[in-house]
Chains A and B, each alone.
Chain A
Amino acid sequence: MKILIEYFDCQKVSGLRGRRMYRIVAKEELNSSVTKIVVEAPLVARKAEPGQFIILRVDDDGERIPLTIADYDREKGTVTIIFQIVGATTNILNQKQVGESIKDFVGPLGKEAETNGYKNVCIVGGGVGCAIALPIAKKFHELGAKVTSIVGFRSKDIVILEEDFKKCSDKLFVLTDDGTYGTKGNVTAPLKDCLDQGEKFDLVITIGPLIMMKFVVLTCKPYGVPVTVSMNPIMIDGTGMCGGCRLTLLQDGERVTKFACVDGPDFNGYEIDFDEAMSRGRMYQEQDRHANTGSCNLFSADKDNKSER
């Protein structure tokens, strides 16, 4: 720990330019649209726990995006992230090679997943959500809990992390929507089977698309099994400052506003207003709905504004 702090302390931090950067030390393509990278970030590695995330900015002028800590090595001072290439920022990130650096990398943010005291857990992951679920599954396994993992993907060519899940699960179900690999179907099917066969999970944790998590909650409800869901709303600062990541929880009939970045990302699945969360998640996809002609003039007027430089 001492060494890490000194490493951090002697970094040259001279102003806004030439600032300390976060070097990529390993990179692996998990499938055509999911990449894993290992980043040098000793301070983040030192405190990281399963369930927490980081926020990164690839370059100057880039966006801040949240990604879950998929793994960490406190000794080496590295943090692993696994990301799906979905848009501008994840594309630029994917172009970075080993040896190159990321401009900003802050964390660990959010609360760690609660793993203490559970003896029989079920992890339900969907798509890239499996990457987020893996460190939690590992932690339960280390703590001696019985781990059942159910991981679902759209198709064979995007199945990821199967080996890793095998290592930390007592039982593993792999599914694909189109049946090209593993069992054909939805993650809720094996979950329901387990519950019907009398499996007494003391916790189900689900991470993946909102619609999948919603159905996992609905599947568990009749059995009275507690469900934790990992929420991924749009975030900016990740410190509770902007309110952009807010979610509505229904607690004792009251609607309560929570910030996913500091109060989460894990929440009691039975309290989440999924429909609202799904609607908010699409906010910027549907942005062109209110075509904003004014902004075009603005941008051209702003071109000669040199004050930023």
Chain B
Amino acid sequence: MAFIAKMNSMPTLDASVRSKNFKEVALGYSANVAIEEAKRCLNCKNKPCVTGCPANIDIPGFISHVKNNDFDKAFEVISQSSCLPAVCGRVCPQESQCESKCTMGVKFEPVGIGRLERFVADYHNSKDSDNEQKAKQVQPNGIKIAIIGSGPSGLSCAGDLVREGFEVSIYEALHLPGGVLSYGIPEFRLPKRIIRKEVDALISQGVKLKTNVVIGKTLDIDDLFEMGYKAIYVSTGAGLPKFMNIPGESLKGVYSANEFLTRVNLMKAYKEGSFTPISTGEKTVVVGGGNVAIDAARCAIRLGSKVTVVYRRTEKELPARLEEIEHAKEEGIEFMFLTNPIEIKSDENGFVDSIVCRQMKLSEPDESGRARPVEVAGSEFEIKTHSVIMALGTSPNPLIRKTTKGIKFNMHGGIVVDDNGKTSREGIYAGGDAVTGSATVISALGAGKRVAKAIMESLTK
């Protein structure tokens, strides 16, 4: 059998067009291309790809249905392990997860697992009426579970529990559900209608969604127990932005990536008629190299700014998804590697005028295994800019920590849990970014599922 060495390419909107709007960039496979791509899978007996998927999706299983033109069956297989395939197919860093383990990838390019997953999910979602029917009636067991935070981790836990008959309520601090999927990841990478659809499906299955409730303020965890919840899942994410603590970080025109992305996504500053002001000026510098930095950069270019991403290591160490980095470059975003900001300077009105950086070089690896950047003495230089977006990562929000007794936290503010997601306090579980610090959608989803299982085992025996 002759192998097709290359993965079928993903059709995308033209870079010169898309860099001026917020439409989805990757357009998705057609059915024919999906079947072609599925045929590249060798259906390996030992399923190495599955070990690379934090949700353990039966990858060869669903792909073989795609091969046979049975997309509904394919969706069923994926659904057994993941409730957000349309999301994960789009945003998983596949090159370091499932696809990194694919046998095809040893000699050729790996199978486009993420692209196929997205295709199957989109196919399913395009058939509207089906969603309702899928919600098969389960016998309610009357056991109340509270979930704090409606990010991917909370949603997946809720989905698994409601399907077993639990009475599930999700409490969300913001006015919209979805967590980072709603306020962080931009429209052109993950259209909001997808999240809305997933959430609507959960609600039609009986999950109660309570927005505008900040746990630790509006209600606290003890209130929830008093209200009759038998278990509580804390999936509050890692939303606290970090700053560099360099001079000038409070100038006008300096944003945390969270503020910038929240204004653009959650508050829809990009839409005509929006009340939310956002202004980048002609030139924007983004500091950082993760998904967050690339998303902020790509939003800024869409708002009409010239954008430079400043990163202190080299291109090889960029933690963002490969595809996003490529897309960003195509859209005209400039990268400056081995560059570290030391000061932001202002004009006479307190607005950003320039950012002073120092050249870096790489030395021995640090404890994370990545080469440690060190400053090159006397290498300062200035970049003129109107805005600076700080995308340096986030840590878990301290609100629950400050208002809940009996839960242990680690030195980074993450909640300490055992393998089942149990915290040090009876009845309270935790998972997702709130435990690990900023990670991935699929690992947050996987944690939600593990906790759902643990809760079922402890409460239905």
- Answer yes or no: A198 CB below 8 A from chain B CBs: no
Q: Within B253-293, which residues are at the interface with A (CB < 8 Å)?
A: 253, 255-256, 258-259, 262-263, 267-268, 270-277, 279-282
- How far is A109 from B212 in the complex, measured between Cα atoms in Å? 11
Q: B350's contact among A16, A241, A248, A279, by CB below 8 Å, is which?
A: A279
Q: List residues of chain A with CB within 8 A of the CB of B227.
A: 5, 9
- Answer yes or no: B65 CB below 8 A from chain A CBs: no
A64-B175, A240-B399, A248-B250 known; A109 and B217 CB under 8 Å?
A: yes
Q: Does B187 lie within 8 Å of A64, measured CB to CB?
A: no
Q: List residues of chain B with CB within 8 A of the CB of A16.
A: 176-177, 196, 199-200
* B404 CB to nearest A CB, Å: 15
Which partner residue on chain B sits nearest A307 by CB separation?
Answer: B191
Q: Does B240 lie within 8 Å of A307, measured CB to CB?
A: no
* B345 CB to nearest A CB, Å: 14
Q: Does B21 lie within 8 Å of A104, measured CB to CB?
A: no
Q: Does A241 lie within 8 Å of B258, measured CB to CB?
A: yes
- How far is A19 from B196 in the complex, measured between Cα atoms in Å? 14
Q: Within A251-309, which residues are at the interface with B (CB < 8 Å)?
A: 255, 257, 262, 273, 276, 279-280, 282-284, 286-287, 289-290, 292-303, 305, 307-309
Q: Does B250 lie within 8 Å of A276, measured CB to CB?
A: yes
Q: List residues of chain B with CB within 8 A of the CB of A294.
A: 20, 303-305
Q: List residues of chain A with CB within 8 A of the CB of B196.
A: 16
Total interface residues in chain A, CB < 8 Å: 65
Q: B22's contact among A89, A106, A302, by CB below 8 Å, is which?
A: A302
- Answer yes or no: B92 CB below 8 A from chain A CBs: no
A57-B175, A290-B281, A301-B21 known; A243 and B303 CB under 8 Å?
A: no
A15-B209, A104-B175, A104-B212 known; A241 and B241 CB under 8 Å?
A: yes
- Answer yes or no: A73 CB below 8 A from chain B CBs: no
Total interface residues in chain B, CB < 8 Å: 73
Q: B272's contact among A104, A248, A302, by CB below 8 Å, is which?
A: A302
- How far is A104 from B172 in the complex, measured between Cα atoms in Å? 12
- Answer yes or no: B24 CB below 8 A from chain A CBs: yes
- Answer yes or no: A161 CB below 8 A from chain B CBs: no
Q: Does A106 lie within 8 Å of B173, measured CB to CB?
A: yes
Q: A307's contact among B177, B193, B398, by CB below 8 Å, is which?
A: B193
* A87 CB to nearest B CB, Å: 9
Q: Does A19 lie within 8 Å of B20, measured CB to CB?
A: no
Q: Does A243 lie within 8 Å of B217, measured CB to CB?
A: no
Q: B241's contact among A89, A242, A283, A300, by CB below 8 Å, is which?
A: A242
Q: B239's contact among A88, A240, A287, A295, by CB below 8 Å, is which?
A: A240
- Answer yes or no: B174 CB below 8 A from chain A CBs: yes
Q: Within A214-249, which residues are at the interface with B (CB < 8 Å)?
A: 236-237, 239-244, 246-248
* A57 CB to nearest B CB, Å: 6
Q: List residues of chain A with CB within 8 A of the CB of B245.
A: 255, 257
Q: Does B23 lie within 8 Å of A307, measured CB to CB?
A: yes
- Answer yes or no: A140 CB below 8 A from chain B CBs: no
Q: Does A295 lie within 8 Å of B304, measured CB to CB?
A: yes
Q: List residues of chain A with CB within 8 A of the CB of B223.
A: 5
- How far is A64 from B212 in the complex, measured between Cα atoms in Å? 12
A241-B241, A242-B258, A299-B272 known; A287 and B279 CB under 8 Å?
A: yes
Which B positions have Cβ atoms within 8 angstroms of A? 20-24, 173-177, 183, 187, 191-193, 196, 199-200, 203, 208-214, 217-219, 223, 226-227, 239-241, 243, 245, 249-253, 255-256, 258-259, 262-263, 267-268, 270-277, 279-282, 302-305, 349-351, 386, 397-399
10 A-B pairs whose Cβ atoms sit less than 8 Å apart in the complex:
A9-B227, A15-B199, A61-B275, A88-B275, A106-B173, A242-B258, A247-B250, A294-B305, A298-B302, A302-B270
